[in-house]
Amino acid sequence: GAVVSQHPSRVICKSGTSVKIECRSLDFQATTMFWYRQFPKKSLMLMATSNEGSKATYEQGVEKDKFLINHASLTLSTLTVTSAHPEDSSFYICSARDNGGGGNTIYFGEGSWLTVV
Amino acid sequence: QQQVKQSPQSLIVQKGGISIINCAYENTAFDYFPWYQQFPGKGPALLIAIRPDVSEKKEGRFTISFNKSAKQFSLHIMDSQPGDSATYFCAAASGGSYIPTFGRGTSLIVHP
């Protein structure tokens, strides 16, 4: 089946530095990808919608200058957390929409644990 | 405003029993209702999904029941197994965007 790969799965960075998380659709092209943040034992919070070749659409309350999203190709979207702080520590999950076959099915990546120390 | 309400928050079932998770939605524009299964430390995985043109969909031990008039849908896990222990999220999406709005999740524990 369709697979969405996220890298890295775990990352620890120092406060004030930036960290990049990649999201790849491995066997389908995704014009649209989504980035979520999930706190322990909580539901997924949509941060932004990433559109290939155009600017991302951010949800209300999400700082676009802090969470930079780039969707440079049909199989890759990246999330860069800039000037990270401990409160940015979280589980970040991407998903990609497979438009093939008219199904519009959304598949999720495995998630990336970010710890800012 | 919570557009998709999910209950219960947690559920404990004995092995072999039936696990039932319920969701209700408010937006009548929703036309796609997926369920996701998430294990600790992993991303959600699509389990089963239904569209409003059918009232029930079954895949193996997992069944979605859909009541359009009541704007409710539920997941039934038959013959629940310890390996089914996970967090389950219902979701709803609409308008061709298929960006799911998630319920709060249900933590299921199946005792052996």
Average pLDDT over residues A14-38: 94
Cβ <8 Å between B98 and A104: yes
Low-confidence spans in chain B with pLDDT less than 50: none
Cβ <8 Å between B42 and A49: no
Please give the pLDDT value at position B3. 86
Please give the pLDDT value at position B100. 85
| Among the partner residues A44, A105, A110, nearest to B42 by beta-carbon distance | A110
Average pLDDT over residues A101-112: 80
Alpha carbon distance A116, A66 (integer Å): 14
Please give the pLDDT value at position A27. 87
| Among the partner residues A42, A46, A93, nearest to B43 by beta-carbon distance | A93
Residue A35 reports pLDDT greater than 60: yes
Please give the pLDDT value at position A31. 86
Question: What is chain A's mean pLDDT, rounded?
Answer: 91
Residue A61 reports pLDDT greater than 90: yes
Average pLDDT over residues A27-50: 91
B66 vs A: CB within 8 A: no
B99 vs A: CB within 8 A: yes
Average pLDDT over residues A59-87: 94
Cβ <8 Å between B41 and A113: yes
Please give the pLDDT value at position A101. 59
A110: nearest CA in chain B?
B43
Neighbours of A41 (CB within 10 A): 12
Please give the pLDDT value at position A102. 53
Residue A75 reports pLDDT greater than 90: yes
Cβ <8 Å between B98 and A106: yes
- Within 8 A of A95 by CB-CB distance, chain B residues are 43
Residue with structure tokens 């219902």? Answer: B90
